[in-house]
Amino acid sequence: MHELAKRLIDRDMRALARGISHFENDHPDKLEILKAVHDQGKGAHIIGITGSPGAGKSSLVNRLIQFLRSKKMTVGIVAVDPTSPFSGGALLGDRVRMADHFTDAGVYIRSMGTRGSLGGLARTTKEAVRLMDAYGFDVILVETVGVGQSELDIMKVADTTAVVLNPGSGDVVQVFKAGIMEIADLFIINKADLPGVSKLMTEIEGMLDLVKHDAEWRPPIAQTISTQNKGLKELWDRFKEHGQYLKDSGEGKRKQTRILQEEVLEVVHYELMRLIEKENEKGSWREQIARREIDPYTAADTILSEWTQRRNPSESQDTTTKEG
């Protein structure tokens, strides 16, 4: 077994941090580490927290951490922040909001910049969650970046996906447009001390009647006031209920199977893209494109044809022989 993976499984926090960094930096050993920890998951309940910017996701996660720690549960957090398209850096504001937990040995917070990834997650979020599960946290919270209508990637990571909304914000229309309604396992009305809660409840229930009228699991609606620590127990009860449903119905295993199957193709796609990009760093097509001598589609077709021929020279020779 890979030495870093072994230390991580033995609950070495430094090994966990270094392992996640390996994935962020495309370390050559990253796939070996994943292979080693694949069967070492401890069964953490992975909870995704998504929703529009300003919904109070970070504050809610911060108070939820406090609640879970009061129950002696260990918590891993992946907080995804937007990356600047100009500097490439990220504000990592969640580290500021969750500063109270930095010295708590039962909490591990990892902030990640999106680095251009869409879908509300960083490119290596899934791998970070895998390593946290192998480490042995009881609960793993994944807070998405908050980009509105493109946060569907969370469904490929979390067991339970919660969508955070605010009364009077009009978010429910955006949620319905985005398709997030279909992936939500739970709705959270945060800042429930503001006016408009009843109206928002009615809107969500109405849309659930349309989308989830024949579903086995109808997403419940929880109300919280995170700044006052209100509604956290009821929220955690809803999370546990969904976790039990996944177990009793078998949907949890089916979902994990789908995620693993998709992950195979995702890994292949990413590694092939890296290989092709490396081989074409100085391709002649770059100059031809700049001079407008060829179009992007011809260049792409050329790259694919050359790549295929290099890996299947016999087929290329057979084609040449037949043509001759």
Q: Per-domain residue ranges for the chain?
A: 1-40, 41-250, 261-323
**What is the pLDDT confidence band of residue 116, given thresholds at 50, 70 and 90?**
very low
Q: What is the mean pLDDT of the chain?
A: 83
| Tens-place pLDDT, residues 211-221 | 887 889 999 99
pLDDT at res. 120: 43
CA dist list (Å): 162 to 114, 305, 312, 322: 20, 45, 47, 59
Sign of the CA dihedral running 65, 154, 198, 221 = negative
| Tens-place pLDDT, residues 217-253 | 999 999 999 889 999 999 999 999 999 999 999 999 9
Are the CB atoms for 204 and 221 separated by under 8 Å? yes
**What is the pLDDT confidence band of residue 203, given thresholds at 50, 70 and 90?**
confident
Are the CB atoms for 83 and 24 separated by under 8 Å? no
Rounded to whole angstroms, the Cα distance separating 41 from 134 reads 4
| Tens-place pLDDT, residues 9-55 | 999 999 999 999 998 888 889 889 989 998 888 889 999 998 877 78
pLDDT at res. 56: 86
122-159 burial: b if 16+ Cβ within 10 Å, else e:
bbbbbbbbbbbbbbbbbbbbbbbbbbbeebbbbbbbbb
| Residue 318 scores a pLDDT above 60 | no
**What is the pLDDT confidence band of residue 112, given thresholds at 50, 70 and 90?**
confident
Average pLDDT over residues 275-302: 87
Rounded to whole angstroms, the Cα distance separating 137 from 135 reads 6
Which structure tokens are listed for 38? Answer: 């694949």
Architecture of domain 41-250 in this structure: 3-Layer(aba) Sandwich (3.40)
CA dist list (Å): 89 to 32, 50, 106, 126, 195: 28, 22, 28, 21, 37
At a CB cut-off of 8 Å and minimum separation 6, what does 66 contact? 100, 101, 229
**What is the pLDDT confidence band of residue 179, given thresholds at 50, 70 and 90?**
low
268-282 burial: b if 16+ Cβ within 10 Å, else e:
eeeeeeeeeeeebee
Which structure tokens are listed for 178? Answer: 């985005």
Beta-strand ranges (E) seen in the chain are 45-51, 75-81, 107-113, 139-143, 160-165, 186-189, 221-223
pLDDT at res. 95: 54
Amino acid at residue number 263: E
**What is the pLDDT confidence band of residue 89, given thresholds at 50, 70 and 90?**
very low
SS3 205: helix
Rounded to whole angstroms, the Cα distance separating 260 from 39 reads 12
pLDDT at res. 170: 65
Rounded to whole angstroms, the Cα distance separating 207 from 199 reads 13
**What is the pLDDT confidence band of residue 209, given thresholds at 50, 70 and 90?**
confident
Residue recorded with tokens 């009881």: 138
Rounded to whole angstroms, the Cα distance separating 237 from 37 reads 30
